[in-house]
Amino acid sequence: MKKLFIILFTTFIVLNLIAVFSFVAYSPKDYCSQEKLLIEMYQKVSDEFNLTYNQYMSLSDYKRFKLLKENTESLHIKLAYEMALESALKCNNYTGMTKWDRFLIDVSSGEYFK
């Protein structure tokens, strides 16, 4: 019984040490600055093709494919817009949170392990 207690206690201590070291090493992503960069990228690509996200999405599949065949950069209109939108949502959600709260969310959602 004593050996079982020692094994369980040691396991508990080791897991807690791993959690503490993970928290100390954790640095949250800055989604607000990422959002600004993605908005600039979207505006640059949008100006280059003279298309907004809504205009691009309203094109037929054939026209989108033709545009993509001519220049693969046209796909960046959609990607940059959607990534900027996601970053803006995360920026708004994470504003004012403590490092511990962000750590718990990132660990439980799997973002920490990416």
Task: Quick: pLDDT tens for 17-43.
Answer: 998 999 999 988 888 999 999 999 999
Q: Is the pLDDT of residue 10 over 90?
A: yes
CA 31/CA 92 separation, integer angstroms: 9
Q: Where are the chain's structural domains?
A: 29-94
Q: With contact defined as beta carbons under 8 Å apart, do 42 and 81 qualify?
A: yes
CA 68/CA 62 separation, integer angstroms: 10
Percentage of residues in the chain with pLDDT exceeding 90?
A: 36
> What is the mean predicted confidence (pLDDT) over 70-92?
88
Percentage of residues in the chain with pLDDT exceeding 70?
A: 100
pLDDT on residue 56:
87
Q: Helix 31-49 to helix 75-94 angle, to the nearest 10 degrees?
A: 160
What is the residue-averaged pLDDT of the chain? 89
Confidence of residue 65 (pLDDT cuts 50, 70, 90): confident
> What is the mean predicted confidence (pLDDT) over 48-68?
87
Phi, psi of 51 (to 5 degrees): -135, 140
> What is the mean predicted confidence (pLDDT) over 78-92?
91
